[in-house]
Amino acid sequence: MKKIFFLAFSIFFGSALIAQTEYDALRISQSDIVGSARYMSMGGAFGALGGDASALKDNPAGLGVYRSGEISTTLNAMFQNSNSTWYNDKNSANSGLGVKFNNASYIMSIPLYQEKSSGLLQSNFSFGFNRVKNFNRVMRANGVTTSSFTDFVSDFTNQNKNGIEEADLKYVENTYEPYDVQFIPWMAILAYDGHLMNPDGATTPPKWSSAFKGQAKSTATMIETGGISEYSFGWGGNFNNNLFVGANLNIADLYYSLDTWLNEDFGSSSGDFTLKNRFNQTGMGVNLKLGAIYLPTNSLRLGLAFHTPTAFAITSTGYAEVDYNNVEAGKNGTAKTPESGSRQNFNINTPLQTQLSAAYLFGRKGLISIEYDFIHYTGNRFKERDGDNSNVNDPFEPENVGVIVDGKLVGGMKQVLSDGHVIKVGGEYKPTENVSLRAGYAMFTGGTNPKYTDGKLMRLNTTSTNPEYFEQKGANYFSLGLGYREATWFVDLAYALKMNNENYYPFQWNRTDLQPADIKTNTNNIVLTLGFKI
C-alpha cells in the first residue's frame, strides 16, 4: 500500500485555495554571490572589508570605509549547464548565454571636519541597484520510472475524505463548472479531462486509478527565469578611523517564471501524455540591513551584520494543460485549466540573517578574508494578504507550523527546511601598486531538511497543478579575478563557478516508489566592473 500524505483542509480553512509551499518560501528567501567583479572573485567574503559597492548588501558598514565618492557598474555574462541522472539514464541541458547588470551604484562621501581626530569623522551615502538572486536555469531529466504521475494524481484524488464522484469533475455546459468549486483540486479536474485516470464504479464514492498500463518512459523538462533585485539607500559613518557603522534600507523586486513539461510514454498500445505547467510570481518587499566593522589593529578587521526579514507582498499565477493520447479509451486531444488561470495574493516574511567576518591585511601587498553567514530558513512565514494572521486563524498553519496527520507532524517550515550556513573565503595579492590578483571559495549548505521524507505536501483544495520540487544537497563556489586601478578609475574582471547539487522529484511520492533525479548544475559567470572615483 503506497502511503502518501496530503492536506485536507477544504472545510476547516474555508475558501483559502492555497498553492504556496515551504519549497516556494525557500526559493524566495535564498540569495546568490552576485555583485562586482572584485566581490565575486573573492567569494563574496567582504563583510569585514568594505570599500566595494556591491558588498554593501552584505554589510552596510563597508560604506563608512570610503574616503571618496564613486560611480560603478558591473556587467555579468552567465552560462549554465545542468546534468541529470534518473534511473541510470543521463541527460544534460544548457542555458543560452545571458548578459545582465549585477549592480550600479553611486557613493557620495562627505568629510565632516578636516581637523577633527575623534568622533564621527566622515559620513557617506549610497544609492544603488544590486541583483541578489538569479533564477535562470534549464533542466531536463529522463528515465523509465517505477511509478507514474497518473498513479500520483489518482491517489491524490482518492485522499479526499468525502470522496470525489465523476460528476464532481465533469463539465456540463451552462450548468456546472468544476473549476469553480472550491473543494475540488484543479489537478484532479485536469487529470479527468485529460483521460489520465479512471473511476472504479464498484465503490461509492469511486476509487480512482491510472488510465495507463505498464511502466512509463518519463521526461521532465524545466525552464526557470527571473531574479530578485534590491534598490538600496544607505548611510555609513567613520568613527575614530577604527569603527565603521552603516545601515541600508532596501526595496526588493521579485520576478519568477517557471515552465515545466512532464511527458510519460507507456508504449504504442497504451498511449502517452504531456503535462505542461506555467507558474509566475511577482512581488515587492522591504528590509533593513545593519552592520559594523571594527579595527582592533591596523591590520585586523572584524565585521558584524544583521539583515531583517524581507516583508514581501507577492502575487502568484498558474496555468496548465495536458496533451493526451489514451489509446485504450480512444481519446486524444488537449485539456486545459481556465484561460485566466489561478491567482493568489499573499505575504511572506523571509528569514533573519546574521553575518560574522574577519580580514587580515598584509600591508599594501594583499589580504585574506573570511565570512560566516547564518540564514534562519526555518523562520520563513507566510501570511494572508489583508486577512486575520493571528495564530488561532492562521490559514497558512500547515505550511508555517505543520499539522498532525495519522499521528505524525507533517509539513511546516521547521520540519521541511534547514537553517542555512555559508562560509566564504577570499584573498587578494598585489604584485604591483596597480594590479591585483584574487581568488575565492564559498560553501553553501542545503536549505531543505535531509531527514524529512514526506515531500511536497499539496492541499486537497489547491489550484496548483505543479507538484515538482527540489531537495537541496549543498553547493560550492570557486572564483578567480584580477583588477587594475589608477587614481581616478578602476576595472576588474572575474570568473566564478557555482556547483549546485540537488534531488529533483517531478511529483511527491513515497521514497520507495519513485527515485529522484540527481541534478548537478554548474553556473559559469564572467564579470566585468568599471568604476570612477569622484
| pLDDT one digit per residue (tens) for the chain, 534 residues | 334 444 444 333 433 455 789 999 999 999 999 999 999 999 999 999 999 999 999 999 999 999 999 999 999 999 999 999 999 999 999 988 999 999 999 999 987 766 677 889 999 999 999 999 999 999 999 999 989 999 999 999 998 777 899 999 999 999 999 999 988 999 999 999 999 999 987 788 889 999 999 899 999 999 999 999 999 999 999 999 999 999 999 999 999 999 999 999 999 999 999 999 999 999 999 999 999 999 999 999 999 999 999 999 999 999 999 999 999 999 999 999 999 999 999 999 999 999 999 999 999 999 999 999 999 999 999 998 865 555 556 789 999 999 887 788 889 999 999 999 999 999 999 999 999 999 999 999 999 999 998 888 888 888 999 999 999 999 999 999 999 999 999 999 999 999 999 999 999 766 567 899 999 999 999 999 999 999
pLDDT for 187 equals 95
Residue range 135-191, pLDDT digits in tens: 999 999 999 998 999 999 999 999 877 789 999 999 999 999 999 998 899 999 999
pLDDT for 521 equals 97
pLDDT for 118 equals 84
Q: Grid coordinates in use for 394? A: 492562521
pLDDT for 325 equals 97
Residue range 489-516, pLDDT digits in tens: 999 999 999 999 999 999 976 656 789 9
CA–CA dist 135, 527 (Å, integer): 17
3-state SS track over 35-81: CCHHHHHCCCCCCCCCCCCHHHHCCHHHHHHCCCCEEEEEEEEEEEE
pLDDT for 17 equals 57
Give the length of the chain. 534
CA–CA dist 57, 531 (Å, integer): 18
Residue with cell 578587521: 301
pLDDT for 317 equals 95
CA–CA dist 515, 145 (Å, integer): 8
Q: Where are the domains of the chain?
A: 22-533
Beta-strand (E) ranges in 445-533?
469-485, 489-505, 517-533
CA–CA dist 413, 419 (Å, integer): 10
Q: In terms of Cα–Cα distance, which of 279, 410, 310, 400 is closest to 21?
A: 400
- For domain 22-533, the CATH architecture is Beta Barrel (2.40)
Q: In terms of Cα–Cα distance, which of 133, 128, 134 is closest to 95?
A: 134
pLDDT for 4 equals 43
Cis bond upstream, residue 205 (ω within 30): yes
Task: Judge whether 350 and 364 are in contact, CB under 8 Å.
Answer: no
Q: Quote the pTM value.
A: 0.93
Secondary structure of residue 416 in the 3-state scheme: helix
How many angstroms from the chain centroid is the CA of residue 506?
17
Secondary structure of residue 24 in the 3-state scheme: helix
CA–CA dist 426, 33 (Å, integer): 12
pLDDT for 183 equals 85
pLDDT for 113 equals 61
Secondary structure of residue 377 in the 3-state scheme: helix
Residue with cell 521532465: 220
